[in-house]
Chain A
Amino acid sequence: MNLFSIGFRTLFYKESLRFWKVATQTVAAPVVTAMLYLVIFGHVLDGRVEMLEGVAYTSFLIPGLVMMSVLQNAFANSSSSLIQSKISGNLVFILLAPLSHAEILAAYVGAAVLRGIAVGAGVFAITAWFAHLTFVAPVWIVVFAILGAAILGTMGVIAGIWAEKFDQLAAFQNFLIMPATFLAGVFYSVQKLPPFWLAVSHFNPFFYMIDGFRYGFFGQSDVSPWTSLAIVSVFFAVLTAMAINLLKRGYKLRH
């Protein structure tokens, strides 16, 4: 794959322009939603619970909310673009073009990362006013934000290829992405869970994305950031291979 090819850059630009043209819906709305979570949960729980030692609940919550927004919006970008293009038929313009499978995947995932990071940055910029935050290891923040967004962008590509109707995509989002995100420790530390659910959480790859991201802020995490990085990287590699395979086979795209 040539990341400098005009074909890749054009598709990336088009996918980015697509969400930017409706930024109120794709960027501003998720920022407001995350802020509401913070106001409600932060107001109710701040001072009553402590997830990490010496860290106020609102401060603990903000990285979780930022990462949740990054992940959900990255998924929404690639999946909704693909399903809309499939249903309206304009995906044909991509399918007729001499783009490689890797270029197509990279462009969709790249735009998904951009939207995820844009929303995450927006959520951070708004919510950071409500609490004191530290940045112990900013590199981990950047690494997990980008990797997490790339993973969800890739999952969005897979879901967008697989789904034939909007309700199938909604099912993917509501029954897989949403629970996996919420149960990954956005609002709590998994260490506070009973042993069974603590063990289950360790099978959820989303947990490692959020845990590693939060480590970058507080220098504390449920598992080592290196372990999280390894698990998240393997997960990303597996999903990328799956997505490339679907594109190569033309699964539900080329009949």
Chain B
Amino acid sequence: MTAIQIDRVEKSYKGFKALKGVSLSIEEGEFFGLLGPNGAGKTTLISTIAGLIRPDAGSVKIHGHDVVTDFREARKRLGVVPQELVFDPFFTVRETLRLQSGYFDIRNNDGWIDEVMHNLDLTDKADVNMRALSGGMKRRVLVAQALVHRPPVIVLDEPTAGVDVELRQTLWKFIARLNREGGHTVVLTTHYLEEAQAMCQRVAMLKQGNVVALDTMSTLLRRVSGSQLVVHLKSGTLPAELRPLVSHDEPNNGNNKYTLRVNDYADVEPILARLREAGAVIDEMQLQQADLEDIFIQIMEEGKQ
């Protein structure tokens, strides 16, 4: 079943096109990443899914329910962690979570509220006023608020922006468990690409309001031509025929250290043989696998030249 169906969504602000006909389909149970540089349209898209922004054209459906025309059914199925650190200063953590449950027509929800607080290390703060919490704790409450009604679809808009390692680990452990054991669909936007690489099964990359890449993580990782071989020469120089392999991103900066692009392990031995023939002696060597960041940079650079 399709959890989120985004169909040719367009949105403009005073002449600026933030979304230019975005179409995406996210399946139930997926852990999906929505990536892109600042201003790419990620938050606009998330806000459209959440019903906070009305699209100029196109539609978004949550489990088949349109977020504009059938918003009540759509919102019941959606839990959103907003990017901004917002809170109501009149209430304690527990009051906040009870109120949020009530907005979703749920009464006597303390069992689940306690479990969510426990999993987000909030139990000690249950009766503390929201104003007295640190930024990281407020972020945890935001996550808890999005989960009080056990939504089948969870949308996290940069949930780990500016928070410490402990919260990141706690949060990802809990969200991964909800995804794995509860079958919750998770949509994540983040600037921490290593998080997206670790968590997401599929990724869409947005650039200037368009989807410029949409694939599984494994396919995307294969898309960038292989890896990088970093060699630090003790003596000798890099033979001329190997120079075309030097990465533009990390050229030799005078310390006889070279970063060479290789497709796979099979390319390593011929390079080493050529270095031996040229009389170069290797001091250190490292084979670095391409990661999501390399792919991200490559995709974002495409079209710039």
Contacts and interface: CB of A to CB of B under 8 A. Distances in A.
Interface string A75-107: 000000000010011101111111110000000
Contacts of A192: none
B102 A254 contact: no
Given A6-B105, A254-B53, A255-B53, A98 B75 contact: yes
Given A97-B75, A255-B52, A10 B99 contact: yes
Given A17-B90, A96-B75, A250-B54, A89 B84 contact: yes
B104 interface: yes
A8 to B, nearest CB: 9
Contacts of A89: 82, 84, 86
Contacts of A13: 99, 102
Nearest to A19: B90
Interface in B109-143: none
A18 interface: yes
B104 A7 contact: yes
A9 B102 contact: yes
A99 B100 CA distance: 11
A18 B71 CA distance: 27
Size category, A interface: 20 to 34
A88 B102 CA distance: 21
B102 A6 contact: yes
Contact of A97 (B13, B88, B103): B103
Nearest to A99: B103
Contact of A90 (B51, B52, B54, B86): B86
A96 B105 contact: no
A93 B102 contact: no
Contacts of B101: 10
Nearest to B88: A90
Residue among B73, B87, B105 facing the most chain A CB atoms (10 A cut-off): B105
Contacts of A100: 72
A9 B104 CA distance: 11
Given A10-B99, A254-B53, A97 B104 contact: yes
B139 to A, nearest CB: 14
B259 interface: no
A14 interface: yes
Residue among B13, B47, B84, B102 facing the most chain A CB atoms (10 A cut-off): B102
Given A89-B84, A90-B88, A95 B51 contact: yes
B76 interface: yes
Contacts of B82: 89, 92
A235 B41 CA distance: 43
Given A7-B103, A11-B103, A255 B54 contact: yes
B51 A5 contact: no
Interface string A1-43: 0000111011101100110011000000000000000000000
B90 A98 contact: no
Interface string B249-285: 0000000000000000000000000000000000000
B42 to A, nearest CB: 16
B190 to A, nearest CB: 20
B304 interface: no
Interface in A172-231: none
Interface of A: 5-7, 9-11, 13-14, 17-18, 21-22, 85, 88-90, 92-100, 250, 254-255
10 contacts: A17-B91, A88-B86, A89-B86, A92-B52, A93-B100, A96-B52, A97-B75, A97-B100, A98-B105, A255-B13
